[in-house]
Structure 1
Amino acid sequence: MDTTETKKIRKGSSDKRVKIITAARDLFLSDGFDRSSVDAVAARAGVSKRTVYDYYGDKQNLLIAVVEETSGAVLDMIQQAISEYLSEFDDLEQALILFCERFVASANGSTDYSALIRLITMEAANLPVSFLENLDNATEEGILRRFAEFGQNGLLHVPDPELATKHFAALTFLLVFNQPKQSGAIQNEQTKRIITEGVRAFLRAYGPQTIRHENETMY
């Protein structure tokens, strides 16, 4: 078999996978996992039912593949924000605020983020606990690595970078995402306030010990 033919087969295989994942995601979001059949996925993707099974084994593996594919886009957003704001900076507080604002703005404008949240919320019972835990860890991994480095460089005091990362997320972008939606200007103002105060609370807890001790003596 020549190289040209091999490339065509590989591209075709990749195209089929994209079509299957797209079809499955649309159906899982509109009809739910339990009410979506492999036959329906195959029909929407324009492939045979056998092809779906050959690629993904069963419907649960297909759901996992859909969530993995969707989460990959979200992880890329986080990594992009880390690269832009947490790699080089003059002021850590401002860098953390800008990082959160960028991620929130990207997530709010992303169909992948909204789809990921809906899939996890709707189909948690159909996803292995270990898979959800790994997904949660993957979402935090980039931030965790940066916080560990900040600890080594003396920018943060983080005996437990994993716990610090969870605290940071809970105080900032996760808190924003959990707020009820409001009109544009009010929403933007509320988002900025939550992120700014969340970052400051985080730094009061995890800033360098000398800074925290100085702050404590002021009260």
Structure 2
Amino acid sequence: MPPVETKPLRAGSAAKRSAILLAARDLFMTEGFERTSVDAVAAAAGVSKRTIYDYFGDKSTILLRVVESAAASLLASVTEAADEELGPVSEAPETLEASLIRFVARISDTTMGSDAYSSLRRLVSTEAAHLPVLRDQWDTREPETLLAEYFTTFERIGLLRLAKPLTAADHFGALTFRLLQDEADAPKARRHEIVADGVQAFLRAYRP
């Protein structure tokens, strides 16, 4: 099922649209998609049911937009962390390992470690069975592409040896973020150990 195009917003309606998405996200995560009615979303957002249909068309499209917004927020967090933690490596090559560890730990602690992130992952996993496009929106490749760009920069200054930067980014994610997801409930010390071990394994494979 392709996503329904969202109608252009009238002047002053952006706040209502944001309120609808926020209310829907909270209800979907706490009550589940099937048990959440459009009436409930309208009441929580302080708008009419008609307004929701005007902006989004149906409940499935609201879910698509909620996941789209969450994915965009995740990408923004990854981009900020990469800029601040990995950006300075070009000027201080000796900090590569520590910077990679800080990058992953920061995302793990502030984003992946949040209850909201875990709830959204469960929501996508549950609802993607009948709305497959959800997984495409959630499992976006932008974070890996961003990381591959940094790895390419690191290769140019002699810090990494890469044949396929995007594949290297996938390997990095598998050794760090994916293992963190597998131990989402682990104590913070254990999660930081996973990060350090994963970064070191990646560097053993990709350092010149």
* Fold shared by both chains (TM-score > 0.5): yes
Q: Give me the whole-angstrom Cα distance separating, in 2, the residues matched to 1:44 and 1:95.
A: 42
Q: Please name the residue that 2:205 is paired with.
A: 205
Q: Please name the residue that 2:29 is paired with.
A: 29
Give the secondary-structure state (helix, strand or coil) at the position aligned to 1:88. helix
Q: Residues 132 and 144 (structure 1 numbering): CA distance in 2 closer, same or farther, change over 3 Å? A: farther
Q: Please name the residue that 1:98 is paired with.
A: 102
2:124–2:138 Cα contact (<8 Å) kept: no
Q: Please name the residue that 1:107 is paired with.
A: 111
Gaps of 5+ in 1: 1-8, 209-219
- Structure 1 stretches of 4+ moved >6 Å: none
Q: Please name the residue that 2:38 is paired with.
A: 38
Gaps of 5+ in 2: 1-9
1:16–1:47 Cα contact (<8 Å) kept: yes
Length-normalised TM-score, structure 1: 0.79
Q: Which gives a bigger RCO, structure 1 or 2 (Cα 8 Å, sep 6+)?
A: 2
Say which of 131, 139, 147 aligns to 1:127. Answer: 131
Q: Residues 35 and 111 (structure 1 numbering): CA distance in 2 closer, same or farther, change over 3 Å? A: same
1:71–1:113 Cα contact (<8 Å) kept: no
Say which of 143, 146, 149 aligns to 1:142. Answer: 146
Q: Give me the whole-angstrom Cα distance separating, in 1, the residues matched to 2:176 and 2:156.
A: 23
CA drift at 1:43: 2.4
**Computing the radius of gyration over CA atoms, which structure comes out larger, 1 or 2?**
1
User: When you count helix as a share of all residues, which structure comes out higher?
Assistant: 1
Q: Give me the whole-angstrom Cα distance separating, in 2, the residues matched to 1:127 and 1:202.
A: 35
- Bigger CA drift: 108-117 or 98-107? 108-117
Cα-to-partner distance string for 1:153-181 (whole Å, 9 max, x where unaligned) = 33222222222111111111321232152
Q: Please name the residue that 1:10 is paired with.
A: 11
Give the secondary-structure state (helix, strand or coil) at the position aligned to 2:128. helix
- Bigger CA drift: 112-121 or 18-27? 112-121
Length-normalised TM-score, structure 2: 0.82
Question: Is 1:165 aligned to residue 169 of structure 2?
Answer: yes
| Residues paired across the two proteins, number | 194
Q: Residues 118 and 134 (structure 1 numbering): CA distance in 2 closer, same or farther, change over 3 Å? A: closer
Q: Give me the whole-angstrom Cα distance separating, in 2, the residues matched to 1:126 and 1:144.
A: 32
Cα-to-partner distance string for 1:67-89 (whole Å, 9 max, x where unaligned) = 11122222222112101110012
Cα-to-partner distance string for 1:33-72 (whole Å, 9 max, x where unaligned) = 2222222222222212221111112222110101111222
Q: Percent identity over the alignment?
A: 44
CA drift at 1:120: 1.7
- Aligned CA RMSD, in angstroms, stands at 2.1
Q: Give me the whole-angstrom Cα distance separating, in 1, the residues matched to 2:189 and 2:155.
A: 31
Cα-to-partner distance string for 1:10-36 (whole Å, 9 max, x where unaligned) = 33x011111110121122112222222
Q: Give me the whole-angstrom Cα distance separating, in 2, the residues matched to 1:159 and 1:84.
A: 26
Q: Please name the residue that 1:154 is paired with.
A: 158
